[in-house]
């Protein structure tokens, strides 16, 4: 089956970036159109993130991952689940702001701060996924045409190895 995860992951990133920017403009300029754009893009980002999580999980199950890569892929999945939950929480918060504002939907500074923190984590997640593919070759057939050596590719993820907590990637479960 064609891997859908690489196709879908860009939508929640782009939509959430637009949502955050529109909400900031709506807050600074009291612009109802920007507020509506931020709200709609956030809702679409949640849908896109759910699709990215589902397709990422499916890709993870079908991929024949190297042992060194497996734990990093699990960490990437776990961060994705946290991000999906955070986006859902922001959407609920945004709905409450929308109703409280009588449909005007201007968000407060605490919301913008929380959304900015989520955006930083989302940006990290995108980088991390890129490292999995371009650094470790996760989910791609080895073509021997990488831009860096396998050893050099693994250096980017080395600082995050302690976060995986895995001594053996398949300990306690099987794929």
Report the C-alpha gap between 145 and 163 in whole angstroms.
Answer: 29
The answer to whether the beta carbons of residues 118 and 84 sit under 8 Å apart is: no
Report the C-alpha gap between 152 and 150 in whole angstroms.
Answer: 5
Closest C-alpha among 51, 53, 66, 80 to residue 140: 66
The answer to whether the beta carbons of residues 125 and 85 sit under 8 Å apart is: no
Report the C-alpha gap between 53 and 43 in whole angstroms.
Answer: 16
The model's pLDDT over 118-159, given as tens digits with 9 standing for 90+, comes to: 999 999 999 999 998 888 888 776 555 455 566 666 677 778
What pTM was computed for the model? 0.82
Closest C-alpha among 148, 123, 56 to residue 65: 56
| Token pair listed for 78 | 């776990």
Instruction: Give the model's pLDDT for residue 5.
Output: 92
Task: Return the minimum-mean-pLDDT range out of 15-19, 81-85, 104-108.
Answer: 104-108
Q: Distances in Å between the alpha carbon of 98 and those of 15, 39, 128, 146? A: 18, 8, 33, 48
Report the C-alpha gap between 131 and 52 in whole angstroms.
Answer: 17
The model's pLDDT over 91-112, given as tens digits with 9 standing for 90+, comes to: 999 998 878 776 667 899 999 9
Report the C-alpha gap between 73 and 57 in whole angstroms.
Answer: 10
Instruction: Give the model's pLDDT for residue 20.
Output: 98
Instruction: Give the model's pLDDT for residue 130.
Output: 92
The answer to whether the beta carbons of residues 169 and 138 sit under 8 Å apart is: no
């Amino acid at each position: 089956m064609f891997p859908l995860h690489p196709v879908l992951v860009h939508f929640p990133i782009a939509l959430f970036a637009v949502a955050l920017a529109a909400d900031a403009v709506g807050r600074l300029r009291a612009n109802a159109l920007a507020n509506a754009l931020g709200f709609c893009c956030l809702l679409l980002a949640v849908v896109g993130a759910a699709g990215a999580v589902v397709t990422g999980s499916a890709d993870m199950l079908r991929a024949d991952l190297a042992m060194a890569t497996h734990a990093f892929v699990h960490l990437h999945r776990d961060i994705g689940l946290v991000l999906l939950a955070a986006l859902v929480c922001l959407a609920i918060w945004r709905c409450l702001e929308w109703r409280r504002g009588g449909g005007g939907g201007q968000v407060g500074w605490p919301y913008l701060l929380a959304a900015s923190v989520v955006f930083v984590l989302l940006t990290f997640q995108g980088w991390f996924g890129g490292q999995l593919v371009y650094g470790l070759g996760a989910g791609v057939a080895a073509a021997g045409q990488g831009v860096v050596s396998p050893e050099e590719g693994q250096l980017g993820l080395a600082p995050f190895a302690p976060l995986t907590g895995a001594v053996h990637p398949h300990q306690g479960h099987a794929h």
